[in-house]
Amino acid sequence: MPTCGTKFYSYENGDWTKLYAENFTDEQKQKIETSLKKAVDESGFKAEQTWGEQIEDRDSQITFSALGQKAPLEPKKGWDPDFKKRKEIKLLLEKMIPEFAINLGGATSIDVTKPGIDKAYGMHKLEEVLKISISEMLFLGDALFEGGNDHPAKTTGVDCIQVRDPEDTKIIIQTIITCQK
């Protein structure tokens, strides 16, 4: 379920099959990208150095990464550790594109999706496809706070574990697997 639950793939017999993708239209993508650029300019939080593209079109989600998609972890950690910069950009975006959902994720990113198409939506789709209840699931995320891109999953009632980064996630998953043996 990449892109905040806006897409869902299943893996069977060595192949990936798309179950759904809640994609934007070309017009919606253009409006979101233009608004992201404008909000960043108006906020005054334009990064001095970037690594790769800042705006990534993932068809069903547009992601803004303040330092670029390929930024090293250390500069990312220092850019907006208290989320103040992204919260200000988010407030500007909510006025510009109120018809979309805007959430914070990772260390420098802002995700834009269709409203209601989020990780909670994805969790319920997972429940439907796998035939397991939310109470049997465990969700790991770094942005479980209100306004974070993982928060919608938390609203489903799923048990959640706050993680710091991919390495933290890896350790927790390895621990869970080890305890299951």
Kindly list the domain boundaries of the chain, sorted by start residue: 1-133
164 a known binding residue?
no
Banded model confidence at residue 165, pLDDT cuts 50, 70, 90 = confident
165 a known binding residue?
no
58 a known binding residue?
yes
Q: Which amino acid is at 17?
A: T
Question: Is the Cβ–Cβ distance between 159 and 141 less than 8 Å?
Answer: no
End-to-end alpha carbon distance in the chain: 26
Position 3 scores a pLDDT of 80
76 Cβ neighbours under 8 A, 6+ residues apart: 67, 106, 107, 108
Q: Which amino acid is at 169?
A: T
80 Cβ neighbours under 8 A, 6+ residues apart: 45, 66, 86, 107, 108
Whether residue 23 is predicted with pLDDT greater than 90 in this model: the reply is yes
Position 181 scores a pLDDT of 78
The model's pTM = 0.83
142 a known binding residue?
yes
Angle of helix 26-43 relative to helix 84-96, nearest 10 degrees?
A: 130
Percent of the chain scored above 90 by pLDDT?
76
Cα separation, 150 vs 176, in Å, equals: 20
Average pLDDT, whole number, for the chain? 93
**CATH number of the structural domain 1-133:** 3.30.1240.20
Banded model confidence at residue 73, pLDDT cuts 50, 70, 90 = confident
Position 138 scores a pLDDT of 95
Banded model confidence at residue 129, pLDDT cuts 50, 70, 90 = confident
Q: What is the pLDDT of residues 79-128, one digit of tens each?
A: 999 999 999 999 999 999 999 999 998 889 999 999 998 899 999 999 99
Q: What is the pLDDT of residues 134-160, one digit of tens each?
A: 999 999 998 898 888 899 999 999 999
